Amino acid sequence: MHDLTDSRPIRVFVYGTLRRGESNAGYLRNATYLGRAVTPPRYHLFDTGPFPAAAARGRHALVGEVYAVDRATLRTLDRLEDVPRSYNRWQIDTPFGGAWLYLWVAAIDPRWPRLAGDWCKRRRLPGRGSARRR
User: How many Cβ atoms from other residues are within 10 Å of residue 84's Cβ?
Assistant: 11
In 3-state terms, the chain is what percent helix, strand and coil (to 5)? 10, 35, 55
Contact 12, 99 (CB under 8 A): yes
**Catalytic residue ranges:** 81
Contact 15, 63 (CB under 8 A): yes
